[in-house]
Amino acid sequence: MPASPAESQAELGATLRAWRDRLTPAAVGLPSGRVRRAPGLRREELAQLAGLSVDYVVRLEQGRSTTPSPQVVAALARALQLGDGERDHLFRLAGLAPPAEGEISDHITPGLHRVLNRLGDTAVALFAADWQLIWWNRCWAALLGDPSAAPAERRNFARATFPVHGEAPALTDREVRSSRPDAVAAAIVSDLRRATGRFPHSRRLLRLIRTLEEGNERFAALWAEGAVGAHREDHKVIHHPSIGRIELDCDVVTEGDADRKIVILTAAPDSEDEIKLRLALLADAAAG
């Protein structure tokens, strides 16, 4: 006999608690802090990593929530550093079909999580093949603001580069300028075209491209050129609200068959900008 909705929600909650308990703060790049009653993550830490409210995590774990959306389940899988099999199990417990083959993946393997967490105080973010932001560290949030305040579907660098019908960019509320804005825009478009060859059956990717074509004339013109390429590097100037102007190099490393992009922001060693980057992190820690 199939499980009732209440039984399924209870099993989902119990599984989330078990996976949260087995994950240490150090494994996700968080300080251990004060003495803990249990070795695992606290609910507020899981909520922070997944970009959810603490109350929502509590309701999920207590079996009091309605069926979570695919975006929420994917965010929990990333935060809990699940393998592919565990991620698919979590989707099924939530009453959802696991991500289809051929679709762009937002999943982060445990090994990649470990690499990202070891980058320490460097500002790092991870984007999916369609430039959807799927992970960022504390230094990135300190520098550019916390992206979790924006709706998940709006956390996309292509949409930030090519606003649809004048919508405000959602990746950051701070002024960020590129040294080569036209080259970056062309590179993003050519990279998306390359992604259509890698993920020809991705509904999400095709939906994004259709939205940008219909909603942004500049994107439509660049897309019509048919260029194929990748976005690799840039030099950016960020105006931080309390630190001021910070100049940084931006490097993009493509990772694995999933075509995920690791974006790293660094300052020249021993420069004034490196000091400002550290001050931005300290200011964020003090505010938190």
Summarize pLDDT for 112-169 with one digit per residue, the tens: 888 888 887 789 999 999 999 999 988 898 899 888 878 877 889 999 999 998 787 7
pLDDT bucket at 2, cuts 50 / 70 / 90: very low
Chain centroid to Cα 81, Å, comes to 13
Q: What is the mean pLDDT of residues 26-43?
A: 74
Just give the CATH number of 5-93: 1.10.260.40
H helix runs in the chain, sequence order: 5-21, 43-50, 54-61, 70-79, 84-93, 110-117, 138-144, 157-161, 181-198, 203-215, 217-224, 272-287
Per-residue pLDDT, 8 = 65
Per-residue pLDDT, 186 = 94
Most confident of 4-18, 152-166, 206-220, 248-262: 206-220
Q: Which residues of the chain form CATH 1.10.260.40?
A: 5-93
**Gap between the Cα atoms of 66 and 197, Å rounded:** 37
| Fold of the domain built from segment(s) 110-287 | Beta-Lactamase (3.30.450)
Per-residue pLDDT, 167 = 81
Which position has the higher pLDDT, 281 or 54? 54
Q: Which of 71-75, 192-196, 239-243, 284-288 has the lowest mean pLDDT?
A: 284-288
Q: Which residues of the chain form CATH 3.30.450.180?
A: 110-287
Q: Which of 23-32, 71-80, 232-241, 269-278 has the lowest mean pLDDT?
A: 23-32
- For residue 1, pLDDT beyond 60: no
Which position has the higher pLDDT, 15 or 39? 15
Q: What is the mean pLDDT of residues 49-68?
A: 85
Give the residue among 106, 113, 148, 120 at the shortest CA–CA distance from 28.
113
